[in-house]
Amino acid sequence: MRSCSTEPVREHILIGLKGARNRMSGQDAVLDAAAAHVRRLLQEQVQRVERISKPVEWIDYSKLDTIVIGVIGGDGIGPIIAKETVRVMKELLKSELSSGRVRINEIPGLEIERRLKLMQPLPDDVLSEIRKCHVLLKGPTTTPEEGSGMANIESANIAIRRAFDLFANVRPVRIPSQGIDWVFFRENTEGEYMLGSRGVMVTPELAMDFKIITKPGAERIIRLAFEHARRTGRRKVTVVTKANVVKTTDGLFLETARRVAKEYPEISWDGWYIDVFTAKLIDEKRRRDFQVVVLPNLYGDIVTDEAAELQGGVGTAGSANLGARFGMFEAIHGSAPRMITEGRGAYADPLSLMRAAVMLLEHVGMLVQSRRLAMALDICALYEPKAKITGRPDGASASQFGDHVIATLRDPHLDSRWGSFQQK
């Protein structure tokens, strides 16, 4: 997650402020213009709270005749790792694809060059193709930064998350040799990011951004975390905030957790402050105690990258963006443009997106297939790393890794082979 477009709104406010300064002198005009902007934001948020408070029924994938999986390659190394992931999925889902239970729909048109040409973070035709799918596997997409020479359009990811209200970002991190088995539930739609491109330059010297936490927004992510703990037999949920300092918004998040936790008496929970929690993630004695972790957006963004680094780097981790009616599954890293310009794209690690595919299959209820892929990835990446990826020509290429995974999936003794490593 990188930059959001900041310029249009700021410019708008500054122009308003300059105009106001000419008409009325002094601070009042400045404050009135800023207050009018804040008022508009508040109105939108009040309407949004009403909208997300309405009960929504979660999609039941078992009732669908055909599950349509959309695939978007993305930018940079995205198409390279997506190609390998699709190859592996086609092997894994051979019978489901031939029976028509699953369809894979590759969607072109989200490339950065096209988004810039159309000046749309999510072109209309791409959005309507995504709407025809039940879940989406997405390679990383480039978001132009200020000063990059490209137009500063909004991130495609944020546009997709908003279009489908994908409020939960779920990221598992596992290091079996160290007893680490974490699942992070990061709130995906609120916090500092929600109005990240709509802050106010009140005066050229005074900048203000906004942090939003809503009761229904906090409740739905916290409930999802507790439900996950219950469903997977985990015994503990950790809630991370900075509620001792950021009292109103983080306070509401923590208060909501306290209330929701009462409905899950079999699961213990504890609250941590983000600073101590971040430190404890590298404390080998304490960190294996964490199981399910739920946090607001910004803290979740930072901590999950830290956790993925402990697992072996951002190239090893997948994530799910979930809403009640749609799910988007992706690698946690970006499009790694430097790997492309340095000619190393072919050596990108596709494990991240393949792990995302494991989550996708589990989410749609294909538990056997999801488990088989997870076992094959454990064998190829952790237990028998024949095709070790280094990101450089001294290591395996993405396609060699793909071959290794496909060969492993074809092993009739996959289960016992994987099991033999669990006893060691």
Identity of residue 281: L
Considering the complex, what minimum distance in angstroms separates the CB of residue 250 from ligand NAD?
25
| Cα–Cα distance measured from residue 354 to residue 81, given in angstroms and rounded to the nearest whole number | 8
- Closest CB to ligand NAD among 16 and 337? 337
**Contact between 47 and 53 (Cβ < 8 Å):** no
End-to-end CA distance of the chain: 38
The tokens describing 274, both together, are: 């983000």
Residue labelled with tokens 């359009």: 153
Considering the complex, what minimum distance in angstroms separates the CB of residue 416 from ligand NAD?
30
- Closest CB to ligand NAD among 77 and 267? 77
- Closest CB to ligand NAD among 316 and 408? 316
For residues 239-270, b (16+ Cβ closer than 10 Å) or e, as one string?
Answer: bbbbbeebeebbbbbbebbeebbeebeebebe
Which of 175-181's residues contact partners 24+ apart within 8 Å by CB, and which partners? 175/310, 175/311, 176/378, 176/382, 176/422, 178/284, 178/288, 179/288, 180/287, 180/288, 180/310, 180/311, 181/291
Query: Which of helix, strand or coil describes residue 43?
Result: helix
Contacts with ligand NAD, residue ranges (CB under 6 A): 1-2, 77, 81, 140-143, 157, 314-315, 330, 333-339, 348-349, 352, 391
- Closest CB to ligand NAD among 271 and 312? 312
Considering the complex, what minimum distance in angstroms separates the CB of residue 118 from ligand NAD?
18
Q: 272 pairs with which residues across the strands? A: 240
Q: Please identify the residue of the shown chain whose CB is closest to the bound ligand NAD.
A: 334
The one-character DSSP state at 406 is H
